[in-house]
Amino acid sequence: MHKELIEFIRDMYRSDEFLPLHEPRFRGNEKKYLNEAIDSTFVSSIGAFVDRFEGDFASYHGVEKAVACVNGTAALHMALLLADVNQNDEVITQPLTFVATCNAISYQKAHPIFVDVDRDTLGLSPQALEEFLADNAEITAKGCLNKKSGRIIKAVVPMHTFGHPCRIDEIAAICQIWHITLIEDAAEALGSRYKEQPLGTFGDISAFSFNGNKIITTGGGGMIIAKNPDIVKKAKYLTTTAKVPHPYEFTHDEVGYNYRMPNLNAALGCAQLEHLDSYLTSKREVANLYKDFFSDRDETFIDEPEGGKSNFWLNAILLGDDVDRNGFLRRINKQNIMVRPIWALMNKLPMFKNCQSGPLHNAEWLEEKVINLPSSVRLQA
């Protein structure tokens, strides 16, 4: 199977060169807008392209405003701060995620709690969440109290793994019952939908990423959107060092953050966003080709879940029980084609090993079987 897969991937991308998991495509106004930003001399965190990118992004998601940040981790950190997550609070998330999810929680000196995922979505399981809360929590005057730790559970942070929607509507309903803020980690999910609704619009606050390997990129960058316009206004204020508006004086009335996206990055983002729909079309074509390839093989292609429309940011398969995972990874990577295993579970990392967890049977099963395959937009698309 290794030889057939290698030939299939190289034929799909029509290349004998190194094939990364996901590389950016620049096929529109990127250079034009970058030159305009340079000519304006506004290349840092103030400029027309910042405002434009925020506006275009908000319009795409049907929200009033959005706030651009230096990266997705900063956007998620700000979302947690805006949700009033503080030292010794707790945040429920999934163990199967990129480390930035838990790092952002730690920046607020809060404690992650790990709840299992669903096998079909790879994202936080509403059933596991409901069971954990029923077994461990109670609603008090101070909020949702973890009876075992004595701490308040302030937020739930599901992550839409590889752009596949989790059952976010069910999670939102549970959060409402338990008086918990829902923060969507939509870092990988730009362009994905669940029940026809864009991901990132279910949460009270949501964070996106435009890292170099994302479906669109600003080099490094992130975005915050929220249901409450006042929260977005606060995000803009805090990410610009909490500066009180004034034509020339520098006055700051609380601790702020230098998290604003530079105008150069936003110029790139404006051009990239213009091609998002065509990128989504190409990536769906790539996913369908993989799906056909694996249809009569022991490996299982991870398709979009029922009710979801994935951006297929990173395509993935489940290896069969008798496949040597490490051997598979070595052989394909040796041929200059990047494949990788899914992340190590967060509860197994040294800094999070003592965090409270529910049963994690699905996450542990997926950790051993999931492999990512090259997923870039095809050049000829």
Domain boundary among 242, 273, 304: 273
The number of CA neighbours under 13 Å toward the Cβ of 112 is: 29
- Residue 351: the pLDDT is 98
**In this predicted structure, which of 155-164, 166-175, 243-252, 370-379 has the lowest mean pLDDT?**
243-252
Torsion of CA 250, 256, 261, 264, to 10 degrees: 30
Same domain, 15 and 75: no
Domain boundary among 273, 305, 340: 273
Same domain, 253 and 338: no
Q: What is d(CA 267, CA 237) in angstroms, rounded to the nearest whole number?
A: 21
Q: To the nearest whole percent, how much of the chain has pLDDT over 70?
A: 99
Residue at 378 is within a domain: no
Q: What is d(CA 335, CA 309) in angstroms, rounded to the nearest whole number?
A: 32
* pLDDT mean over 68-78: 98
Torsion of CA 91, 94, 95, 97, to 10 degrees: -110
CB atoms within 10 A of CB 292: 11
**Domain containing residue 60:** 30-273
Same domain, 124 and 56: yes
53 close to 68: Cβ distance less than 8 angstroms = yes
Buried b / exposed e over 318-357, threshold 16 CB at 10 Å, is bbeeebeeeebbebbeebebbbebbbebbbeeeebeebbb
Same domain, 240 and 350: no
Same domain, 77 and 163: yes
Same domain, 289 and 218: no
- Residue 46: the pLDDT is 87
- Report which secondary-structure segment, H or E, holds 40: helix 30-40
- Tens digits of residue pLDDT in 205-242: 999 999 999 999 999 999 999 999 999 999 999 999 99
Map tokens 């609704």 to a residue: 197
Residue at 82 is within a domain: yes
- Tens digits of residue pLDDT in 17-68: 999 999 999 999 999 999 999 999 999 888 999 999 999 999 999 999 999 9
DSSP assignment of 123-159 = SB-HHHHHHHHHHHEEEETTEEEETTT--BEEEEE-B
Q: What is d(CA 36, CA 47) in angstroms, rounded to the nearest whole number?
A: 11
Q: What is the DSSP letter of 68?
A: E
Q: What is d(CA 168, CA 172) in angstroms, rounded to the nearest whole number?
A: 6
Q: How confident is the model at residue 381 (pLDDT cuts 50, 70, 90)?
A: very low
* pLDDT mean over 99-108: 98
- Residue 101: the pLDDT is 98
Q: What is d(CA 265, CA 259) in angstroms, rounded to the nearest whole number?
A: 13
- Tens digits of residue pLDDT in 106-164: 999 999 999 999 999 999 999 999 999 999 999 999 999 999 999 999 999 999 999 99
Same domain, 112 and 252: yes
- Tens digits of residue pLDDT in 338-375: 999 999 999 999 999 999 999 999 999 999 999 999 99
Q: How many helices (H) and strands (E) does the chain have?
A: 12, 16
Same domain, 131 and 247: yes
Same domain, 133 and 154: yes
Same domain, 232 and 305: no
- Residue 248: the pLDDT is 87
Specify the CATH number for the domain of residue 107: 3.40.640.10
- Tally of domains in the chain: 2
* pLDDT mean over 305-323: 94
Among the listed residues 134, 135, 133, the one whose alpha carbon sits nearest the alpha carbon of residue 155? 133
pLDDT at 260 > cutoff 60: yes
- Tens digits of residue pLDDT in 79-90: 999 999 999 999
Mean residue pLDDT across the chain: 96
* pLDDT mean over 269-288: 98
- 141 token code pair: 């005057």
Among the listed residues 244, 206, 208, the one whose alpha carbon sits nearest the alpha carbon of residue 225? 206
- Residue 284: the pLDDT is 98
Residue at 379 is within a domain: no
**What are the C-alpha distances in Å from 180 to residues 118, 134, 143, 173, 280?**
21, 14, 8, 10, 33
pTM for this predicted structure: 0.96
- 30 token code pair: 């990127």
Specify the CATH number for the domain of residue 292: 3.90.1150.10
Q: What is d(CA 340, CA 330) in angstroms, rounded to the nearest whole number?
A: 10
Same domain, 253 and 194: yes
Q: What is d(CA 370, CA 319) in angstroms, rounded to the nearest whole number?
A: 7
Same domain, 313 and 207: no
Q: What is d(CA 183, CA 89) in angstroms, rounded to the nearest whole number?
A: 15
Domain boundary among 208, 239, 273: 273
- Residue 59: the pLDDT is 97
Give the E-state strand segments of 24-129 in sequence order. 67-69, 90-93, 111-114
Amino acid at the residue 265: N
Residue at 380 is within a domain: no
